[in-house]
Amino acid sequence: MGYGAQLVVWEEEFCQMFAAKNLFVIRYDNRDCGLSTKFDGVEVDAAAVLMAALMKEPIPPTPYTLADMASDAIGLLDFLKIERANVFGASMGGMIAQTMALDHPTRVQNLISVMSGSELESALPTPDAMGILLSVPPRDREGFIAYSPIYQAFQSKKYRSDENSKRIAARDFDRSFYPQGVTRQFAAIFALAPRLAEISNITTPTLVIHGKDDTLIRPVAGQRTAEIIPNAKLVLIDDMGHDMPKPIWGLLVDLACDFIAKHK
């Protein structure tokens, strides 16, 4: 899953749709979010990391990078005694999935990169979206829920709603509200940004999916990813932003499962 997002963003009904296609589904919390390991008290200058990445200068030290987060996923597969997996990554999770395919190619059967990117320049949000991304939400439950519709700026224009935004915010807050982790995850993304240029070396069968309404990671980022990874397939989806709204779940499941069936 993506930046600051818990495993419950992979909603249970969505996962069941994959299970109904005879796939064994694993969802998990990345480090520094949900119920996973927290790096409490570990400081990082995320702004300095971002600036260094943009200026193509040496990256300041970070607590961890996307490579470490990719290794976390491999460690989970090791624990579950799973030799190879189809990896479906969304947003930052797509970058983690790409890194898995780079660093652990024998463990990734198929790579499905959704609403993600691989080049820093093309993956940057619009200025308005960046402002919202870096805004600080209220720390109390009621305030956090009331604030949540602001994130609809990234989402499907057709399917977004205040009701759904508040439902998700309440669920996420009650399970684990841990805003400290997102700063370190943000730094992890940009600390590895120069290395994502290596994705041209990926040989894993790759499907790239992107929503046409996405302003957080713009569609051009998905297009560039599909151009750089050899033989990658690109699908751009109408009425999808930086989200996976329920009305398009069936399409996403069919796209992923059809691709997996062709590359067993």
Query: What does pTM read for this prediction?
Result: 0.96
Beta-bridged to residue 211, according to DSSP, are 237
Domain annotation covers residue 160: no
DSSP characters for 141-181? Answer: HHHHHHHGGGGGGGS-TTT--HHHHHHHHHHHHHH---THH
Residue with tokens 């579950």: 80
Residue 60 forms part of a structural domain: yes
Give the per-residue pLDDT at 95: 95
**Domains identified in the chain, total number:** 1
The answer to whether the beta carbons of residues 124 and 134 sit under 8 Å apart is no
H-helix segments, 20-161: 46-54, 66-79, 92-103, 120-123, 127-133, 141-147
Residue 37 domain-assigned (yes or no): yes
Report if residue 106 sits inside a domain: yes
CATH of the domain at 47: 3.40.50.1820
Task: Supply the pLDDT for residue 250.
Answer: 98
- Examine residue 131 and state whether it is found in any structural domain, yes or no: yes
Structural domain harbouring 191: 7-137+180-262
Task: Confirm whether 150 is domain-assigned.
Answer: no
User: Tokens in use for 157?
Assistant: 């224009």
Domain membership flag for residue 31 = yes
Residues (pLDDT < 50) of the chain are none
Domain assignment of residue 117, yes or no: yes
**Edge to edge, what strands does the sheet with 233-237 contain?**
85-90, 108-114, 206-211, 233-237
What are the CA-CA distances from residue 50 to residues 13, 122, 128 (Å)? 36, 15, 17
Under 8 Å between Cβ of 160 and 152: yes
| Distance (Å, whole) CA 88 – CA 110 | 8
